[in-house]
């Protein structure tokens, strides 16, 4: 049975911050973890600090064709990916009237389109094998319920990611679960040194969702393992 096998997880942006904490947590649980980073050298450096089966892989989310080529190369060596954690993201400051088209396009590409591409590439095998876990790192800033109060391009792209999560959950079988999370305000390069949470705390819910049992939830938006409003 698959639950008795070592599982393989792919984590984007796994070389620092919340992503690194997710990699560490999954490796500690016995997963084989593919640590994705834009620069392979950064991934190798991060992987060298983690105990467990952690393999750095190169993933450039900014370009669709490059990303697809990189994923195909990864699948040739690691064809069975059980969990996908779409952690990588970028934050562009300014209102929609202040930022330029390139900033908006980059935010949409990295925060929304790249997770969509990865999901499309990896879910067919998950469906065929009858097991998969997809975790999308979103934000309260991308929540209509919380007012979409963050920087505009970031808020719009994370709201789109949430919409992708909910829509996808209606198409996937129950054996392949997809959920969004808000990790809270975390001390990372993006969150800043004054943030209230450690990367390890921010990673807890993502690790939980990446390792859900068969009767676990799908199609939800979570903070601290509790449902929050879209």
Rounded to an integer, what is the distance from CA 186 to the centroid of its chain?
A: 15
Tell me the β-bridge partners of 56: 35
DSSP code at position 190: T
Active site residue 78: no
- Cα 51 to chain centroid distance, Å, stands at 21
Task: Copy the structure tokens of residue 143.
Answer: 């929540």
- Please give the Cα distance from 57 to 8 (Å, whole number): 13
Q: Does the domain made of 2-227 have the CATH classification 3.40.50.720?
A: yes
Q: Which of 78, 93, 131, 154 is catalytic?
A: 154
Decide: 164 and 116 in contact? Cβ < 8 Å: yes
Q: Alpha-carbon dihedral of residues 36, 26, 89, 212, nearest 10 degrees?
A: 130
- Asked if residues 181 and 137 have their Cβ atoms less than 8 Å apart, the reply is yes
Give Dmax (Cα) for the chain: 53
Query: 179 forms bridges with which residues in the sheet?
Result: 135
pLDDT in tens, the chain (230 residues): 344 588 999 999 999 999 999 999 999 999 999 999 999 999 999 999 999 999 999 999 999 999 999 999 999 999 999 999 999 999 999 888 899 999 999 999 999 999 999 999 999 999 999 999 999 999 999 999 999 988 899 999 999 999 999 999 999 999 999 999 999 756 676 666 777 678 899 899 999 999 999 999 999 999 999 999 99
The full set of domain ranges for the chain reads: 2-227
Rounded Cα gap, residues 175 and 91, in angstroms: 33
């Amino acid at each position: 049975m698959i639950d008795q096998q070592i599982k393989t997880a792919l984590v984007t942006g796994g070389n620092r911050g919340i992503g690194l904490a997710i990699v560490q947590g999954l490796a500690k649980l016995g997963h084989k973890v593919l640590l994705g980073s834009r620069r392979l050298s950064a991934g190798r450096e991060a992987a060298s600090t983690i105990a467990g089966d952690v393999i750095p892989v190169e993933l450039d989310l900014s370009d669709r064709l490059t990303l697809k080529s990189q994923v195909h190369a990864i699948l040739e060596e690691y064809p069975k990916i059980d969990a996908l954690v779409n952690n990588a993201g970028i934050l562009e400051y300014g209102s929609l009237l202040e930022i330029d088209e390139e900033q908006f396009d980059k935010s949409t590409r990295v925060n929304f389109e790249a997770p969509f591409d990865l999901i499309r590439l990896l879910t067919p095998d998950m469906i065929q094998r009858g097991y998969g876990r997809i975790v999308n790192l979103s934000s309260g800033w991308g929540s209509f319920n919380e007012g979409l109060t963050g920087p505009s391009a970031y808020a719009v792209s994370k709201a789109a990611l949430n919409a992708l999560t909910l829509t996808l959950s209606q198409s996937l079988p129950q054996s392949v679960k997809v959920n969004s999370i808000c990790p809270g305000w975390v001390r990372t390069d993006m969150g800043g040194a004054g943030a209230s949470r450690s990367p390890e705390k921010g990673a807890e819910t993502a690790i939980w969702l990446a390792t859900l049992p068969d009767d676990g939830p799908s199609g939800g938006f979570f903070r601290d393992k509790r449902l929050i409003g879209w």
